[in-house]
Amino acid sequence: KLVAMEVTQLLLNAQSIDGTVRKHAEENLKLFQSQNLAGFLLSLAGELANDEKPVDSRKLAGLVLKNALDAKEQHRKYELVQRWLSLDMATKTQIRAFLLKTLSSPVPDVRSTASQVIAKVAGIELPQNQWPELVGSLLSNIHQLPAHVKQATLETLGYLCEEVSPDVVEQEHVNKILTAVVQGMNAAEGNNDVRLAATRALYMALGFAQANFNNDMERDYIMRVVCEATLSPEVKIRQAAFECLVSIASTYYEKLAHYMQDIFNITAKAVREDDESVALQAIEFWSSICDEEIDILEEYGGEFTGDSDVPCFYFTKQALPALVPLLLETLLKQEEDQDLDEGAWNIAMAGGTCLGLVARAVGDDIVPHVMPFIEEKISKPDWREREAATYAFGSILEGPSPDKLMTIVNAALTFMLNALTKDPSNHVKDTTAWTLGRIFEFLHGSTIETPIITQANCQQIITVLIQTMKDAPNVAEKACGALYFLAQGYEDIGPNSPLTPFFQEIIQSLLAVAHREDATESRLRTAAYEALNEVVRCSTDETSAMVLQLVPVIMLELHNTLEGEKLSSDEREKQNELQGLLCGCLQVIIQKLGSEPTKYVFMQHADQMMGLFLRVFGCKSATAHEEAMLAIGALAYAAGPDFAKYMPEFYKYLEMGLQNFEEYQVCAVTVGVIGDICRALEDKILPYCDGIMTQLLKDLSSNQLHRSVKPPIFSCFGDIALAIGENFEKYINYSMPMLQSAAELSAHASGADDEMTEYTNSLRNGILEAYSGIFQGFKNSPKTQLLIPYAPHILQFLDSIYMEKDMDEVVMKTAIGVLGDLADTLGSHVGGLIQQSVSSKEFLNECLSSDDHTIKEAAEWAKHAITRAISV
């Protein structure tokens, strides 16, 4: 058994700069933990609480303790929670006592670590009604505590609110927590550390304050204290107080009307005069208000009901005359090299971003407030003024109606093209190219009545963009982006595209950009391939011969990336990124050319292309794998039954993809591709089904796999069943119980938040698609009777979905289709059962009178099949 002294030494050794010592210590810690968990955790807590121990060993003890309670991965987290709950009460009580005692330590770091550990324990125990005295003991005599203990206690309360869901804390405790926190924030609190801790705690406790924000007096009090804190002489307190305001803007938008005038004054002062860290938060307040109003107005637009949950108060619109000048001022505070620094974020960037959001929230109204600024500054000798004017212009292009902007944009276009070639400032050119992209994104396309790009200026625009693609990487990247939207605007142009005469030149220029020595800077290479993809996607049959010529070119490039040997890890990473881009590009080309009339010629490349994709799987890069997998799915669809010849070699990568739990995107994409292959191969997929089904069933039972992959796996069952028909028989005994338990789970899960409802619906849809495929696959087979025992449950499931009243339209369509498939396949065997179900009456009628014709169609089908099933 280890003694306390040894623990201290182990913890210190685990931080040694000597690798061998460190490794040895880490192994011993693991060993200790595995041999005697309770003793291990208890000695860590004891170490943390012991003021005589070195700070370093205490901090690490706290960290190891924290990691023993929580993990990022859901399944691991669940295990740790169960492990903690199963510890004996005596140990847990002792650990809790050690933790609370640590809050009084004179060492700030140690107190802070203890705060976090206490919150983790609370996160596990409070939902189980354990440690009920925690909140009470933290709050008892908080007023009499020495400042450093008070500070640690407030910090603990903040973390606690972050860890614990509001519904497991009684309102009485919530009130006490908020009272303590808000009092700690008050100007009357003399100690700045306490005041800062309280302000940060409030930020985390805001989610608990629902009831208090509904009470006028309490809300006035909280708002007054927060606003006062924004005026504190301490910059960190001002920043934390603004963070609270930002959070309040989105959480309690509908409660703010009364305070907006004051908040405007506070934020304006901060933006103009305060430290940048504070000014950024003040701007963020307005960005958050815009976010809320954009969401609300979007919902209005979609529904036309006018009785949305949250009304729009048009705060942005009211503040417009004062807010816009405030934001325009910030645009002049650019940093010299902000466009070259990926991580840059400053007041000019925040101000322009906010201006863009304001434009989306108020639409046409913003234009007269911004135009004078642009006109005055766009030709000034100082690059800052020209850039600010251009940035302002680019920012307001989304929101106002095309009618309002068209004249201005037409007048500005020539100026912009000129600036792009002649302006000496890199910064101005960057913003100008970006603005052109915005013009094409929002004001160019089939929905715009008077086109911006005409026969007269098309040549010039393309020439300038191609020229700009040779500029500095950051400027060239924006030019590629502009080309992207230029092409996108011709997406549904019909057989003759104005880009056709320039097609060859555009493709060649983009390839040249991708090959620039400095293409890895400023995301330039990615932007070039993305533009290339969009140009191909939006191309017409006129240019299909040129797209066809691109195939061997891109394949050769992919081939070259696979030949590179002995790369540094940095080079390898760039290589993998390039492989991903090239596979993505091939995927787009496959979708373009893989159907008539180009399919035949295109498919002559298929063998070689497939060979390259398989080699990409040999490299270790999740992104490249995902892209190659997507491309293969598209290829399978184009190849149809001929795809069978690739299966022997491809199969192992399919299996690998399904086993990739960590990079769940790869797994998800692989599941989708199995669907493609089922539709391409039909019953020729049979030899591979044992392996695929085994892996899919494993995926479903795994608690490591991201939950978003599970609904598509169910849909994939349906794809397989539809492809192999009654051969699905041998999987029935495994898949049906899985479907059944998932169906039950989805019935219990609904009703929580929007995100949960969305997930529940995607789960239902997957389950239903599986049933559909299975029923249709078994239709007309003598083995149909195997499915009869499952009919009652499936009908119950349909009924429960209907009763829950929270299904979306996709589920509605799939569900009523399943009813039809069930009736069609099982016929008179289930006639009586169907007649008893709610689905066959109210639900069916509701679908029959749906406005959505796909739902109606599925319902007609169901009605038809049911009539037949019950008439026999």
Partner 1 sequence: MAPHDLRRPFKRRPISDQQKRRDLSLLRQSQHRSDAQQRARNLASSVISLQSSSSPDADPETLPEPMPDVDTAGHESEASSFSIRQASSLRGPEARKWFASQLMLPEWMIDVPENLSRDWYVLARPAGKRCFVVSTDGVTVSRLRNGSVLHHFPSALPGGARKKGVSGPAQSYSILDCIFHEADQTYYVIDMVCWRGYSLYECTAEFRFFWLQSKLDETGACDPPSFYHKFRFSVVPFYNCDQSGLHSAYTGSLPYVKDGLLFYNKHAHYHTGNTPLVLIWKDERCSQYVIDTDNNGQVPSQQHIVLELQDDGKIVTSDDPPVVVNCLNADFVKQSGLSPGSLVRFAIGDGGLNCVDGKFEKADLQYISVSNRARAFADSYSKIMFQYMARHSPLKVEDLASMISQENQQDKLPEVEMSD
Using CB under 8 A as the binding rule, the residues of this chain from 601 to 660 that contact partner 1 are 623, 626-627, 630, 633-634, 637, 640-641
Output 228 or 726, the one with its CB closest to partner 1: 726
Binding mask 799-828 for partner 1 (x = CB under 8 A): ------------------x--xx--x----
Write down the residue that tokens 């300038």 correspond to: 464
From 595, 604, 704, 849, residue interacting with partner 1 (rule: CB under 8 A): 595
Output 575 or 591, the one with its CB closest to partner 1: 591
Output 688 or 775, the one with its CB closest to partner 1: 775
- Is residue 853 a contact point for partner 1 (CB under 8 A)? yes
Q: Kindly state the smallest distance separating residue 852's Cβ from partner 1, in Å.
A: 10
Which residues in 246-285 contact partner 1 (CB under 8 A)?
246, 277, 280-281, 284
Output 70 or 769, the one with its CB closest to partner 1: 769
Q: Kindly state the smallest distance separating residue 822's Cβ from partner 1, in Å.
A: 12
Output 362 or 436, the one with its CB closest to partner 1: 436
Q: Which stretch binds partner 1 (CB under 8 A): 12-20, 58-66, 238-246, 325-333?
A: 238-246
Q: Kindly state the smallest distance separating residue 88's Cβ from partner 1, in Å.
A: 33
Q: Which stretch binds partner 1 (CB under 8 A): 22-30, 323-331, 413-421, 863-871?
A: 863-871
Q: Kindly state the smallest distance separating residue 259's Cβ from partner 1, in Å.
A: 21
Q: Which stretch binds partner 1 (CB under 8 A): 210-218, 264-272, 503-511, 674-682?
A: 674-682
Cβ proximity of 33 and 47 under 8 Å: no
> Distance between CA atoms of 588 and 610, rounded to whole angstroms?
15
- Is residue 776 a contact point for partner 1 (CB under 8 A)? yes
CA atoms within 13 A on the CB side of 808: 13
From 34, 701, 733, 871, residue interacting with partner 1 (rule: CB under 8 A): 871
The amino acid present at 336, given as its one-letter code, is E
From 40, 84, 434, 653, residue interacting with partner 1 (rule: CB under 8 A): 434
> Distance between CA atoms of 337 and 805, rounded to whole angstroms?
54
Output 222 or 433, the one with its CB closest to partner 1: 433
- Is residue 707 a contact point for partner 1 (CB under 8 A)? no
Count of chain residues binding partner 1 (CB under 8 A) = 81
Cα angle at 62 between 56 and 65, to 5 degrees?
140
From 163, 557, 769, 799, residue interacting with partner 1 (rule: CB under 8 A): 769
Tokens of 91: 């140990």
CA atoms within 13 A on the CB side of 732: 20
> Distance between CA atoms of 417 and 395, rounded to whole angstroms?
18
Q: Kindly state the smallest distance separating residue 809's Cβ from partner 1, in Å.
A: 13
Q: Which stretch binds partner 1 (CB under 8 A): 129-137, 329-337, 684-692, 765-773?
A: 765-773
- Is residue 782 a contact point for partner 1 (CB under 8 A)? no
What backbone torsions phi and psi does residue 88 show, to the nearest 5 degrees? -70, 150
Q: How many C-beta neighbours within 10 Å does residue 189 have?
A: 17
The residues, any chain, with a CB within 8 Å of residue 337's CB and separated by 6 or more, are 344
> Distance between CA atoms of 362 and 7, rounded to whole angstroms?
62
- Is residue 78 a contact point for partner 1 (CB under 8 A)? no
**Using H for helix, E for strand and C for coil, what is the string for 269-338?**
HHHHHCCHHHHHHHHHHHHHHHHHHHHHHHHHHHHCCCCCCCCCCCHHHHHHHHHHHHHHHHHCCCCCCH
- Is residue 104 a contact point for partner 1 (CB under 8 A)? no
- Is residue 767 a contact point for partner 1 (CB under 8 A)? no
Output 400 or 817, the one with its CB closest to partner 1: 817
Burial class for 149, CB neighbours closer than 10 Å (0-12, 13-18, 19+): middle
Q: Which stretch binds partner 1 (CB under 8 A): 32-40, 140-148, 510-518, 584-592?
A: 584-592
Q: How many C-beta neighbours within 10 Å does residue 75 have?
A: 13
- Is residue 400 a contact point for partner 1 (CB under 8 A)? no
From 50, 533, 837, 839, residue interacting with partner 1 (rule: CB under 8 A): 533
> Distance between CA atoms of 784 and 777, rounded to whole angstroms?
9
Q: Which of 763, 857, 771 is nearest to 813 (CA)?
A: 857
Q: Torsion angle, CA of 854/860/861/866, rounded to 10 degrees? A: 140
Q: Which of 394, 478, 393 is nearest to 429 (CA)?
A: 478
DSSP 378: T
Q: Kindly state the smallest distance separating residue 345's Cβ from partner 1, in Å.
A: 4
Please report, for residues 248, 537, 559, the alpha-carbon distance to residue 584 in angstroms, rounded to integers and kept in the order given: 42, 12, 14
- Is residue 682 a contact point for partner 1 (CB under 8 A)? yes
> Distance between CA atoms of 701 and 179, rounded to whole angstroms?
46
- Is residue 379 a contact point for partner 1 (CB under 8 A)? no
Which residues in 493-532 contact partner 1 (CB under 8 A)?
494-495, 526, 529-530
Q: Kindly state the smallest distance separating residue 296's Cβ from partner 1, in Å.
A: 19
Q: Kindly state the smallest distance separating residue 715's Cβ from partner 1, in Å.
A: 7
What ranges make up the beta strands (E) of 38-155? none
The residues, any chain, with a CB within 8 Å of residue 746's CB and separated by 6 or more, are 760, 763, 764, 767
565 sits in the region (left: phi over 0; alpha: psi -120 to 50; else beta) called beta
Output 557 or 821, the one with its CB closest to partner 1: 821
Q: Kindly state the smallest distance separating residue 497's Cβ from partner 1, in Å.
A: 12
Output 799 or 821, the one with its CB closest to partner 1: 821
Q: Kindly state the smallest distance separating residue 149's Cβ from partner 1, in Å.
A: 17
- Is residue 718 a contact point for partner 1 (CB under 8 A)? yes
SS3 call for 757? helix
Binding mask 22-61 for partner 1 (x = CB under 8 A): ----------------------------------------
- Is residue 351 a contact point for partner 1 (CB under 8 A)? no
Q: Which stretch binds partner 1 (CB under 8 A): 501-509, 653-661, 719-727, 782-790?
A: 719-727
How many residues make up the chain in this entry? 872
From 62, 351, 657, 675, residue interacting with partner 1 (rule: CB under 8 A): 675
From 779, 784, 806, 831, residue interacting with partner 1 (rule: CB under 8 A): 779
- CA 286 to the chain's CA centroid: 23
> Distance between CA atoms of 495 and 540, rounded to whole angstroms?
6
What backbone torsions phi and psi does residue 544 show, to the nearest 5 degrees? -65, -30
Q: Kindly state the smallest distance separating residue 713's Cβ from partner 1, in Å.
A: 13
> Distance between CA atoms of 823 and 859, rounded to whole angstroms?
12
DSSP 225: H
- Is residue 350 a contact point for partner 1 (CB under 8 A)? yes
Write down the residue that tokens 């599925």 correspond to: 858
Write down the residue that tokens 């014709």 correspond to: 853
Output 317 or 868, the one with its CB closest to partner 1: 868
From 584, 666, 732, 742, residue interacting with partner 1 (rule: CB under 8 A): 584
The amino acid present at 21, given as its one-letter code, is V
Q: Kindly state the smallest distance separating residue 486's Cβ from partner 1, in Å.
A: 14
Cβ proximity of 61 and 11 under 8 Å: yes
Which residues in 143-162 contact partner 1 (CB under 8 A)?
155, 158
Q: Kindly state the smallest distance separating residue 802's Cβ from partner 1, in Å.
A: 20
From 679, 684, 793, 829, residue interacting with partner 1 (rule: CB under 8 A): 679
Output 255 or 868, the one with its CB closest to partner 1: 868
From 722, 798, 815, 816, residue interacting with partner 1 (rule: CB under 8 A): 722
Q: Which of 472, 361, 380, 370 is nearest to 426 (CA)?
A: 472
Taken in order 345, 348, 352, 354, is the CA torsion positive or negative? Answer: positive
Cα angle at 125 between 120 and 131, to 5 degrees?
110
> Distance between CA atoms of 32 and 50, rounded to whole angstroms?
20
